[in-house]
Structure 1
Amino acid sequence: MPSFFVTGTDTDAGKTLVSAGLLALARSQGLTTLGLKPVASGCMATPAGLRNDDALALQARSVPAADYVTINPFAFEPAIAPHLAARQAGVSLDLAQLCERIAPWLNERRDVVLVEGAGGWRVPLNETEDLAEVALRLGLPVILVVGLKLGCLNHARLTAEAIRADGAQLVGWVGNLLDADFARDASLYADNLTTLQRTLDAPCLGVVPRLRRVAPARRPEAAIAHLRLPDGD
């Protein structure tokens, strides 16, 4: 069963749009799916407890259905780095407990499982561990979401280098257009994408355009036309 870890070049690079889009694509092909967001900050207080929009987007595209705590076991209200939000809540985050919550779901009979990180590759879990170590300990190949804007070449190359230096496998990347002005010159935009393809040395799984005219809840489905699933055993 293919399982992947989704990271980004930065916060708001488009990890959830791409993750939910890939899950929606898998569902359109009749595949079973599961999207996990182990740690989320910036959650809303609801009668059912803290809820995160990104985790809800993954839950909505997970079939068979999974309860919210399965999707997002560690939810925090402040929209700050997860380890800082956890500290404010008096919660200790560590790699072992995260992996214990995730690992059983990787053995479920699901065709596609995506584990979405928080922020970028080097986001801390605590004083000594990073969220990236979840991918390493569980042996998850990595999908990198590149937020397409000025500066993305440097951010993408540094992140890809870090992923490989840590011993993880980069199985593909997805470009997500953040800045419409970045694509205004079509030739220059194409040159940037070509540079990413060459320097990242990994398959491009799609380039998602700006989807401003699509309702937020429907953007993952709108992204399907621009995505393909990574290869997996």
Structure 2
Amino acid sequence: MKAGVFITGTDTDVGKTWATLAWMRRLRADGYTVAGMKPVAAGCERRNGRFYNRDALLIQAACSSPADYAAINPYAFEAAMSPHLACGDISVDPERIAALAAALHATADWLVVEGAGGWYSPLDAALDNAGLARRLGLPVVVVVGMRLGCINHARLTVAAVERTGLRCAGWLAVRLSEAMPGFEGNLAYLQTHLSAPLLGVLPYRLEPDFTELGQHLCPPNWQMFDLRQNF
């Protein structure tokens, strides 16, 4: 099986990395080999002359096989701001990312790619997450941070994914607080009004156990992410 997913979000800080790592751990628990990427990251720390992103390091550690950090996070920027500002005069090349993605995918059954920010968040002056996802051609999963305003953000994001011409394979709800007022009502409304299926609800956690979080995923069929015709 060759399968993959591009994980995007309704905004920044809605739980994309937790969802990505939970997805990877669940896949491994289900017997698949998995490779992961966070192609573009800002707010990175310099170590030994290179920039490293904490979330990308976690993705690297979650891969089934050892992978070079530069392949997992080829564009790492120091400034903690939108990548299109943090990148300076560096251009993010989607062809380079696609080549690295194909090489990583060759080592595993699954490729899991985490975007940066929301669907239309810019990665440089010309490229945004939607453009990168279109180039990679992966099914998309939308992470919905459950908070006030999430209904509008979720409906707009799923509609935008579909307008891009990619398949929105589903969405994940992430509890961002222990006691969101109206959580169940908001969740029920989204299940009724989003065209894509709910693939899981990640509970609120102060400290994540990604293996445990992975057990809260309920993808209807892993085969729906099969990419054998694309790779």
TM over 0.5: yes
C-alpha distance in structure 2 between counterparts of 1:28 and 1:112, whole Å: 13
Deviation at 1:115, TM superposition (A): 0.8
Question: Is the CA contact (8 Å cut-off) linking 2:91 and 2:125 kept in structure 1?
Answer: no
Instruction: Give the aligned CA root-mean-square deviation in angstroms.
Output: 1.6
Q: Which residues of 2 match residues 61-76 of structure 1 at below 5 A?
A: 61-76=62-77
For 2:157, the equivalent position in structure 1 comes to: 159
2: distance between equivalents of 1:222 and 1:78? 32
For the residues of structure 1 that align with 2:41 and 2:157, how far apart are their CA atoms? 21
Number of positions where the alignment pairs a residue of Structure 1 with one of Structure 2 = 222
Gaps (5+ residues) in structure 2?
Answer: 227-231
Q: Structure 1 counterpart of 2:50, which letter? A: G
Contact map agreement 1:95 1:131 (CA 8 A) in 2: no
Distance in 2 of aligned mates of 1:26 and 1:164: 25
Counterpart for residue 58 of structure 2: 57
1:84 Cα deviation from its structure 2 partner: 0.9
Does 1:20 pair with 2:21?
Answer: yes
CA displacement at 1:83 relative to structure 2: 1.5
Q: 1:204 to 1:18 in 2, by over 3 A?
A: same
Q: In structure 2, what is the equivalent of residue 232 of structure 1?
A: 225
1:110 pairs, out of 95, 108, 111, with: 108
Q: Which runs of 5+ in 1 are unaligned?
A: none
Instruction: Tell me, in whole angstroms, the C-alpha distance in 2 between the residues paired with 1:228 and 1:49.
Output: 38
Label 1:46 to 1:109 Cα distance change in 2 as closer, same or farther (>3 A). closer
Q: Decide whether the 8 Å contact of 1:197 with 1:203 is kept in 2.
A: yes
Equivalents in 1 of 2:81, 2:50: separation in Å?
19
- Asked whether the equivalents of residues 92 and 123 of structure 2 are also in contact (C-alpha less than 8 Å), the reply is yes
Which residues of 2 match residues 193-208 of structure 1 at below 5 A? 193-208=187-202
Q: The residue matched to 1:119 in structure 2 has which SS?
A: strand
Runs of 4+ with deviation above 6 angstroms: none
Percent identity at matched positions? 42
- Normalising by structure 1, what TM-score? 0.89
TM-score by length of 2: 0.90
